[in-house]
Amino acid sequence: MSRLDSAIRRLQAQRLCLDEAAVLVEGRPGHILEIGLGNGRTYDHLRCLFPERDIYCFDRRIAAHPDCIPDDGHMFLGDLANTLPLAAHRLGPAAILAHADIGSGDRQASLDLAIWLAEALPPLLAGGAVVIGDQPLPNTAWATLDLPGGVAKGRYHMYRAKPA
């Protein structure tokens, strides 16, 4: 498969998983976490899916399209090792959905970050929150969710945190 085909499949899987998550969290209170703002495409899609919810974004630096940059109150800039604890202190365990797009060109570094993130994220999550990632996020307190139709196993990952 070409890299172009792979990118298209990844983006389709991402959209299908986010759309499914919107159904899974419908009617439940809480805000949204976007971990890895990148160029802002996913953040923009989340704004369409959740126009009434606060969406908090995390990234090392701003590289998003100007129309897809959250205001300062919704953007945590810097290393996740610093910004996630800061966000947990500020926001508490109230996120109903967390999306982590943290993959890089370095497969092992991406997997290592995912393992760390799976343990660092729970203080930000409401009971029963949905967690979506481009990398597997191994946390024994989360149930693995079935992927939506059209998403190949291993292409994207979905979990539900245990209820509070």
Q: What percent of the chain has pLDDT over 90?
A: 88
Confidence at 69, pLDDT banded by 50, 70, 90: very high
Report how far apart, in Å, the C-alpha atoms of 147 and of each of 81, 132, 161 are. Answer: 29, 10, 16
**Per CATH, which fold does 3-161 belong to?**
Rossmann fold (3.40.50)
What is the rounded average pLDDT of the residues 97-115? 89
What is the rounded average pLDDT of the residues 23-37? 97
Q: Specify the pLDDT at position 102.
A: 85
Length of the chain: 164
∠ CA 46-84-19, nearest 5°, is 20
104: pLDDT strictly greater than 80: no
Express each pLDDT in 83-103 by its tens digit. 999 999 999 999 999 999 988
What is the rounded average pLDDT of the residues 105-134? 93
Confidence at 106, pLDDT banded by 50, 70, 90: confident
